[in-house]
Homo-oligomer: A and B are copies of this chain.
Amino acid sequence: MKNILEGKTKKLIAQGADEILMVFKDDVTADENGFNPGANKVGFKMDGIGLENLKLSTFFFEKLNATGIKTHFLKSDFDERTMHVRKANLFGNGVEVICRFAADGSFVRRYGQYARKGDLLPAFVEMSLKDDLRNDPMISKDALIAFDIMSDSDYDTLVMLTRQICLVIKNECAKHNLQLIDIKLEFGRDPHTNEIMLIDEISTGSMRVYREGESVEPFELTQTLLSD
């Protein structure tokens, strides 16, 4: 990896051989209808959302680490708006793992013959390639194996870990009367042990949350989830 990588919502800076500093930006992804965590390009700046997302990510990573789920999280510095994380090897050029508790967004656009918006789904997992140029295409297990991006058992491990992690997040939402609709996660491997670990962030930029059928906006979401 280069020393500095500029992402859509974060800047990544290498810190020695094994660590990365993630700087959380105030940019959010959006589509033609406004803020959309599933969108593929930066839409606009939202002053202060970087720090909020850092706090929310930190909250979830600490919770997950405490339950024994391996993540890349080391520590956060809210003053600097940074998170220190373990360096990870990606699956291919990056794979997004999506977990759905209710049908919405692209899932309904694709499968409207069989699913209506709001239909409950049992922690349904699907994967897409990180590929902005091709709009993050969905990819099957067989294709991931054919391209040598992961093995059959890696895929099953990712599905199992995703369900474990997303249930923790769903339960946190439920405590505040919020419904987690869908969320995307990213995983990598520890370069030394080869263990699979959760990477990237867990924030308003990666989940769709409703309260009584209405989408909850980023600031309201972090403030609600981080309140006692």
Contact = CB atoms under 8 A, between A and B. Distances in A.
A112 interface: yes
| A111, A115, A141 interface centre (most CB from chain B within 10 Å) | A111
A160 interface: no
Given A122-B146, A146-B122, A146-B124, A111 B137 contact: yes
A153 interface: no
Contacts of A115: 147
Contact of A114 (B110, B113, B147): B147
Contacts of A111: 129, 134, 137, 139, 143, 147
Interface in A88-147: 92-93, 109-115, 121-122, 124-126, 129, 131, 133-134, 137-143, 146-147
The prevalent SS among residues of A at the interface is mixed
Contacts of A139: 110-111
Interface string A69-97: 00000000000000000000000110000
A173 interface: no
A146 B93 CA distance: 28
B131 A146 contact: no
11 contacts: A92-B113, A92-B114, A110-B134, A110-B137, A111-B139, A112-B131, A112-B133, A114-B147, A115-B147, A126-B143, A138-B140
A129 B124 CA distance: 18
Interface of A: 92-93, 109-115, 121-122, 124-126, 129, 131, 133-134, 137-143, 146-147, 149
A186 to B, nearest CB: 16
Contacts of A124: 142-143, 146
Nearest to A106: B137
A113 B122 CA distance: 31
Contacts of A93: 113
B142 A113 contact: no
Contacts of A125: 142
B142 A126 contact: yes
A92 B112 CA distance: 13
- In order of increasing CB-CB distance, the 10 nearest A-B pairs are A110-B137, A114-B147, A140-B140, A113-B131, A124-B146, A126-B140, A93-B113, A138-B138, A112-B134, A110-B134
